Amino acid sequence: RKEVEQDPGPFNVPEGATVAFNCTYSNSASQSFFWYRQDCRKEPKLLMSVYSSGNEDGRFTAQLNRASQYISLLIRDSKLSDSATYLCVVNWGNQGGKLIFGQGTELSVKP
Amino acid sequence: GAVVSQHPSRVICKSGTSVKIECRSLDFQATTMFWYRQFPKQSLMLMATSNEGSKATYEQGVEKDKFLINHASLTLSTLTVTSAHPEDSSFYICSANGGTGDGAGGPDTQYFGPGTRLTVL
């Protein structure tokens, strides 16, 4: 089992659509969870942290289920500018901040 | 917000040469910096964790004699790819742990540099 596993992509959706990304992780000792966004040939940028209570930032909603070791990201009312690769990232337990990245899910929002 | 810079942004070199990449935290002190490598269509793979004033911790499969890491100050870490070969061509990205209280994503948040694209001919 991969350490952090994401939905395979790409996701091709029309503008205005709602899209959901799923992610599972294998290390039950993980404490911190994130979604990063990476544009083509650029560095990853933090989109949002993920908390057990769930959190929302505008059109983006992240959920965490520790029992199932599952993380999700929901994007509502997709914009063309949302086209990017979305990376599920997990802090790997007590290893001094080590982050493990999922393979990423590519999103393409079309007009 | 926390800013991390990398230099150079792009390098093209001949096989056998050594390449040095710098990673700087511009407005905060980073006790820990991380070096990643990303091949096309793949995700970031952690190469090593660099702690200021001590030896870097390398991930399994990463040759420490080939990828030399120095973290001499709280704002600078360097990665030197020694005797680079075409298979070392990749996107190298550093990140810095912003420490506590930064408010931007919690104490575990890492801030990424813009990356260095290395092409070895």
Q: Tell me which residue has tokens 């810079």.
A: B5
A41 and B91: CB-CB below 8 Å? yes
DSSP string, B29-95: --SEEEEEEE-TTS--EEEEEEETTSPPEEPTT--TTTEEEEEEETTEEEEEE-S--GGG-EEEEEE
Chain A CB contacts of B114 below 8 Å: 42-43
pLDDT for residue B108: 64
Of chain B residues 65-94, which have a CB less than 8 A from chain A?
A: 91, 93
B106 and A32: CB-CB below 8 Å? yes
Instruction: Assess A111–B contact: CB distance below 8 Å, yes or no.
Output: no
d(CA B12, CA A49): 36
**How many CB atoms neighbour CB B47 within 10 A?**
24
Nearest to A21 by CA among A32, A31, A40, A36: A36
Residue B14 in this model has a pLDDT that exceeds 80: yes
d(CA B57, CA B69): 9
Q: pLDDT band at B30, cuts 50/70/90?
A: confident
B109 and A41: CB-CB below 8 Å? no
Q: Tell me which residue has tokens 């994007």.
A: A75
| Residue B33: both structure tokens together | 């910096």
The per-residue pLDDT of chain A, averaged, comes to 91
Residue B90's alpha-carbon distances to B10, B58, B95, in angstroms, are 10, 18, 16
pLDDT tens-place string over residues A23-33? 999 988 888 89
Q: pLDDT band at B104, cuts 50/70/90?
A: very low
Q: pLDDT band at A41, cuts 50/70/90?
A: confident
pLDDT tens-place string over residues A50-63? 988 889 999 999 99
d(CA A92, CA A25): 10
pLDDT for residue A13: 97
| Residue B6: both structure tokens together | 């990398």
Residue B102 in this model has a pLDDT that exceeds 60: no
